[in-house]
C-alpha cells in the first residue's frame, strides 16, 4: 500500500513481559476492529498474543478501503498487504 507512514508500529497495553514485533513479517493479521473518520484499529498475532495497531493518517474513505484489504488478508502476515493497491474511487 502506498500510504505515508505504513505500516504503523504496534502499541497499546500488554501483559508484563510481553515483547513487541520488530517487523511486519513477524505478525499475522488477526482482525480489523474499527475504521472510521481517520483511524484504523486492527490487531495481529505475535507469539500467541494479540498486538494492536492504530493507523491515524487516513481519510474516512481510505480507512474503509484499507480496513477491507486487511479483512481480506486475515490469517496472513502483515507484510502480505504491502503491495496490495488501494482501489481508486469510481466517479
pLDDT score, position 79: 92
pLDDT score, position 91: 62
Give φ, ψ of 71 to 5 degrees: -60, -40
pLDDT tens by residue, 40-53: 899 999 998 899 99
- Match 498487504 to its residue by C-alpha cell: 81
pLDDT tens by residue, 50-88: 999 988 877 888 888 899 999 999 999 999 998 898 888
What does the block give as the cell for 13?
497495553
Mean pLDDT of 6-34: 85
Mean pLDDT of 28-49: 89
If DSSP states are collapsed to H, E and C, what string results for 5-62? CCCCCEECCCCCCCCCCCCHHHCEEEEEEEEECCEEEEEEEECCEEEEEEECCCCHHH
Amino acid at each position: 500500500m502506498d500510504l505515508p507512514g505504513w505500516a504503523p508500529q504496534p502499541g497499546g497495553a500488554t501483559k508484563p513481559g510481553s515483547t513487541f514485533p520488530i517487523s511486519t513479517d513477524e505478525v499475522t493479521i488477526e482482525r480489523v476492529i474499527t475504521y472510521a473518520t481517520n483511524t484504523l484499529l486492527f490487531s495481529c498475532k505475535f507469539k500467541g498474543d494479540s498486538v494492536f495497531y492504530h493507523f491515524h493518517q487516513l481519510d474516512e474513505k481510505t480507512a474503509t478501503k484499507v480496513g477491507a484489504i486487511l479483512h481480506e488478508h486475515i490469517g496472513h502476515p502483515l507484510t502480505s498487504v504491502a503491495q496490495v493497491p488501494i482501489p481508486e474511487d469510481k466517479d
